[in-house]
Amino acid sequence: MLAFAIRRVLISIPILIVSTFIVFLLVSLSGDPLSNLKTKQPRPPEQTIRLAEHRLRLDQPLMERYWHWMTGVARGYFGPSVSGGGTLDIGTEIGHRALVTLRLVFFAMVIAALIAIVVGVISATKQYSKVDYSFTFTGFLFLAMPTFWFAILLKEGAIWSNRHLGTKFKTIGENSPTISPGLGAHLFDDFNHLILPTITLALISYASWSRFNRASMIEALSSDYIRLARAKGISPTRVLIRHALRTALIPFVTVTALDIGAILGGAIITEYIYQWRGMGDFLLQDGLTLNDPYVVLAWLLVSGAAIIAFNLIADILYGVLDPRIRYE
């Protein structure tokens, strides 16, 4: 297993390197980072533009820039930034932002997976019942729900509730700028800010998983080994959990881990609505709106690495959960 994991990591590295190159190419071609500077009125002196170009290494050929960037990343330096006159340290910033986003993604995935398992099991055991149909319809509804629309709706609902019911939902930011000191107060504040975005992301994400879990539960429940388990006279609950769910979870875990890309996409939108200073904001605001190519590159690198890591976890979990898979 360990040997397999190591080999799998080694295979992932070239994929990541090739993808960094493609990403670098795309970002380089997708616009001039100095277009804001150049179109400024009155036009800044030629010298200023030259200097900025030099600082962003725009005067170097593409391959050289790529090489500089990659070797920099290996040393923990993610390249020069445009914004703040270059004072922004992309590495430090993205590290902080990634933690903020990770918090959201982690809780949303756990909650979504739990909902999906419960809904999937109930739907599968009560197939074609009213409960099953309503779960199915709700699932389809969330599959069709635009993340941004649902997030705004939830946010407005919370604001209304804060105003009329006296609740204290936090609708802006990942934490409060000023809070009383103490770890407890901090954790409570973070938790309070997490509630709405986590609900949004979890509900948007659970639907396809619950459909999947329902399907694998139905497949498991109609299998011969479930029939034998029932014929053995073990309790129906044990048949359902220890036999059907246990085998249905094998593909389920893989599918959830592989969905990290979609979750990250959803997190970008969710953070945007709730005005979190997370990864999403870093890409959309600092990276794209301010036209900062090295911010975009750092973002794609980090999220790409995260997705590859989740793929790896999925593979390894598959091996752990399914004794038929033996990695040589």
Please report how close the Cβ of residue 183 comes to other proteins at its closest, in angstroms. Answer: 33
| Piece in contact with other proteins (CB under 8 A), picked from 42-50, 65-73, 181-189, 244-252 | 244-252
Among positions 122-141, residues that touch other proteins (CB under 8 A) are 127-128, 132-133, 136-137, 140-141
Side chain identity, residue 145: M
Q: Which window, 18-26, 83-91, 101-109, 166-174, contacts other proteins (CB under 8 A)?
A: 18-26
**Closest to 202 in 3D by CA, of 320, 118, 92:** 118
Q: For residues 26-45, which are near other proteins according to CB under 8 A?
A: 26-27, 30-31
Q: Binding mask 71-90 vs other proteins (x if CB under 8 A, - otherwise)?
A: --------------------
Cα–Cα distance measured from residue 231 to residue 242, given in angstroms and rounded to the nearest whole number? 15
Based on the shown chain and the rule CB under 8 A, indicate whether residue 229 belongs to the binding site for other proteins: yes
- Please report which residue ranges of the chain form alpha helices under DSSP H: 2-29, 35-38, 46-55, 62-74, 90-125, 130-143, 147-164, 183-221, 224-231, 236-238, 246-258, 260-274, 279-281, 293-321
Residue 180 or 289: the one with the smaller Cβ distance to other proteins is: 289
Q: Which of 67, 106, 188, 225 binds other proteins (CB under 8 A)?
A: 225
Residues 144-203 within binding reach of other proteins (CB under 8 A)? 144-149, 152-153, 156
Do 214 and 122 touch, CB atoms closer than 8 A?
no
Longest dimension (CA), the chain: 86
Return the number of the residue (189 or 219) whose C-beta is nearest other proteins: 219
Using alpha carbons, list the distances in angstroms from residue 212 to 116, 136, 206. 8, 11, 10
Query: Which residue number, 118 or 145, has a Cβ lying nearer to other proteins?
Result: 145
